[in-house]
């Protein structure tokens, strides 16, 4: 006997009782119910009642080429019939070898060694541990501290949280975290009146320089989200900051860790954001879009210099870190299929045309009286909305759903981070419905009479 097909109401009730959802106060789902998704196709998600939603946030910034992408599906089916998984300690397999070789060809020069984990936060743990262990192996055991930017986000495991500067995620766990310093963010929204984004970035680099001068002897690494600080509310900054950070870190013998978990894989207009500053970091962390949004996988790429510091006969000088699913073949195969799409479809230049189209139709939105700080880098757009509502983010999310849109504002910052397969009619839908939403959300609440 087949059970009856579930509907929205039934599934959300069952989920509320059995599933503890991430990044949520479960009680709030009493007022703002969960949305059960039955299937996805391209930029659209469909619920069990047949309603559709344009996935304008790429399902938490992971999806690149649409839901249920035929090419990635086919690659996964063929991999399923070959090898679903094998441990990577003592064993190897073709998908992980090919992926590592291709990433080495594509990444900024010098990043020839790939180590794998299953999610973004674990990649950050690897980079932090590897950096400190490098200094230990090379006779600098005091270099164990890290710095990050103000409002940085690098994940929520305890190590990653120590370099994450988002009070909401940190405060409850602060007793468990080793506290690390932050330096002024080059977020161009904070430039002084009349100061260019570039001048502001250079001013922030001076603050970094002074911090490095004073603390380099204890510092292992400076970790940064290149070009866009995502969870800070899509804070964008000038690439000159990355160039200066690269020079200064080299000068003071501090590693530079580029966290491209959100901004890598073409999101900022180049395959990797670091390319726009012409730099090679000591560590490059990738996850999210690397599998096209299909399966959990992350990778930390690093240099020969770092690799060689671990390459000896002693086990304890080796890098001691593993996850059960390290380098999972299915996930690697999804990543290879994703890289194939980049190569075959000239994605980066197509994205430039799409971005130009979206910017052209967005004129009425960016000029709306309630819209502030309109900004765009590659396939990311963001703006703040001047709204009288304290619960702006939740209200906007709910209203967006009624308008066939999946938007997830960060405080009063609305952003678009759509899958790259978005077409012109879908961009029209996104921009027109968002304009309608903004209009509703900037109205004074009706006084109750
Ligand atoms: C999402 C994200 C992470 C954490 O990745 P998870 O897979 O969620 O653990 C780390 N850094 C940045 C910049 C991110 O956007």
Residue-wise pLDDT tens digits, 181-211? 999 999 999 999 999 999 999 999 999 999 9
59 neighbors 290 (Cβ within 8 angstroms)? no
Q: How confident is the model at residue 444 (pLDDT cuts 50, 70, 90)?
A: confident
Please state the rounded mean pLDDT for residues 319-342: 97
Inform me whether the pLDDT recorded for 440 exceeds 50. yes
Each residue's pLDDT tens digit, 275-320: 999 999 999 999 999 999 999 999 999 999 999 999 999 999 999 9
* pLDDT given at position 449: 47
Instruction: State the Cα torsion 359-360-366-367 to the nearest 10°.
Output: 160
Nearest to 141 by CA among 203, 220, 88, 243: 220
C-alpha of residue 301 to centroid of ligand 1, in Å: 16
Within 284-402, residue ranges assigned H as helices are: 304-308, 329-345, 347-361, 363-366, 392-402
Q: What is the dihedral of CA 282, 288, 292, 297, to 10 degrees?
A: 80
- Pair type for strands 380-385 and 371-377: antiparallel
Q: What's the pLDDT band for 1 if we cut at 50, 70, 90?
A: low
Confirm if 361 and 344 have CB atoms less than 8 A apart: no
Instruction: Check residue 2 and give its pLDDT.
Output: 63
Question: What is the CA(424)–ligand 1 centre distance, in A?
Answer: 29
Q: How confident is the model at residue 333 (pLDDT cuts 50, 70, 90)?
A: very high
Which domains does the chain carry? 37-68+348-441 (3.90.1150.10), 72-344 (3.40.640.10)
Counting from 1 in the atom list of ligand 1, the atom nearest the Cα of 122 is 9
Q: How far is the CA of 116 from the centre of ligand 1 (A)?
A: 15
Task: Report the atom number in ligand 1 closest to the C-alpha of 160.
Answer: 10
Residue in the structure block whose two tokens are 């770092």:
306
Tell me the mean pLDDT in the region 38-56: 97
- What are 5's two structure tokens? 């097909």
Q: What is the pLDDT of residues 76-109, one digit of tens each?
A: 999 999 999 999 999 999 999 999 999 999 999 9
Kind of pairing between the strands at 219-224 and 255-259? parallel
417 and 403 in contact (C-beta within 8 Å)? no
Q: Pocket of ligand 1, candidates 120, 122, 124, 293: which has the most ligand atoms within 8 Å of its Cβ, to mutate?
A: 120
Predicted confidence (pLDDT) at residue 447 exceeds the cutoff of 90 = no
Secondary structure element (H or E) that encloses residue 417, with its range: none
Q: For all residues of the chain together, what is the average pLDDT?
A: 96
Residue 157 Cα to ligand 1 middle (Å): 10
pLDDT at residue 4 in the model: 73
Tell the residue nearest (CA) to atom 12 of ligand 1: 154
pLDDT tens string 351-402: 999 999 999 999 999 999 999 999 999 999 999 999 999 999 999 999 999 9
The protein residue with its alpha carbon nearest to ligand 1, atom 10, reads 154
237, 277 Cβ separation under 8 angstroms: no
Packing angle between helix 329-345 and helix 70-80, nearest 10 degrees?
Answer: 150
Q: What is the separation of C-alpha 410 from the centre of its chain, rounded to a whole number of angstroms?
A: 14
What is the pLDDT at residue 33? 84
Note the pLDDT tens digit of each residue in 128-166. Answer: 999 999 999 999 999 999 999 999 999 999 999 999 999
DSSP codes, 44-58: EEEETTS-EEEETTH
Ligand 1 atom closest to residue 263's alpha carbon, by position in its atom list: 13
Strand order in the sheet with 380-385: 371-377, 380-385, 413-416
Can you tell me the mean pLDDT for 12-33? 90
């Amino acid at each position: 006997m087949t059970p009856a097909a579930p509907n929205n109401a039934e599934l959300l009730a069952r989920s509320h009782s059995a599933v503890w959802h991430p990044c949520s106060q479960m009680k709030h789902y009493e007022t703002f119910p969960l949305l059960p998704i039955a299937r996805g196709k391209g930029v659209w998600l469909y619920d069990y009642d047949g309603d559709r939603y344009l996935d304008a946030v790429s399902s938490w910034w992971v999806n690149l080429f649409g839901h249920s992408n035929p090419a990635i599906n086919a690659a996964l089916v063929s991999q399923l019939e070959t090898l679903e998984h094998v441990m990577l300690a003592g064993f190897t397999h073709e998908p992980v070898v090919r992926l590592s070789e291709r990433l080495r060809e594509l990444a900024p020069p010098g990043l020839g060694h790939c180590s794998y984990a299953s999610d973004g936060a674990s990649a950050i743990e690897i980079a932090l541990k590897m950096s400190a262990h490098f200094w230990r192996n090379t006779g600098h055991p005091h270099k164990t501290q890290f710095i990050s930017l103000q409002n940085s986000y690098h994940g929520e495991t305890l190590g990653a949280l120590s370099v994450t500067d988002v009070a909401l995620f940190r405060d409850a766990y602060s007793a468990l975290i080793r506290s690390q310093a932050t330096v002024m963010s080059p977020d161009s929204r904070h430039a002084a009146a009349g100061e260019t984004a570039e001048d502001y970035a250079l001013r922030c680099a001076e603050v970094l320089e002074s911090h490095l001068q004073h603390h380099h002897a204890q510092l292992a690494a400076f970790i940064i989200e290149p070009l866009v600080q995502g969870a800070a509310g899509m804070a964008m900054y000038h690439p000159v900051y990355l160039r200066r950070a690269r020079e200064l870190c080299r000068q003071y013998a501090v590693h530079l860790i580029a966290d491209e978990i959100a901004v890598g894989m073409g999101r900022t207009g180049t395959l990797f954001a670091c390319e726009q500053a012409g730099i090679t970091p000591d560590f490059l962390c990738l996850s999210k879009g690397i599998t096209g949004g299909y399966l959990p996988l992350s990778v930390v790429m690093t240099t020969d210099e770092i690799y060689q510091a671990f390459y000896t006969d002693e086990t304890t000088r080796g890098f001691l870190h593993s996850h059960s699913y390290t380098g999972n073949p299915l996930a690697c195969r999804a990543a290879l299929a994703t890289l194939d799409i980049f190569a075959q479809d000239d994605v980066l230049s197509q994205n430039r045309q799409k971005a130009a189209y979206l910017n052209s139709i967005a004129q009425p939105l960016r000029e709306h009286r309630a819209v502030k700080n309109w900004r765009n880098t590659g396939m990311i757009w963001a703006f703040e909305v001047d709204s009288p509502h304290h619960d702006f983010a939740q209200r906007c999310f709910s209203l967006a759903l009624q308008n066939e849109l999946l938007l997830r504002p960060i405080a009063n910052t609305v952003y678009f981070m759509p899958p790259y397969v978005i077409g012109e009619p879908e961009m029209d839908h996104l921009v027109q419905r968002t304009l309608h939403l903004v209009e509703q959300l900037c109205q004074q609440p009706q006084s109750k009479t």
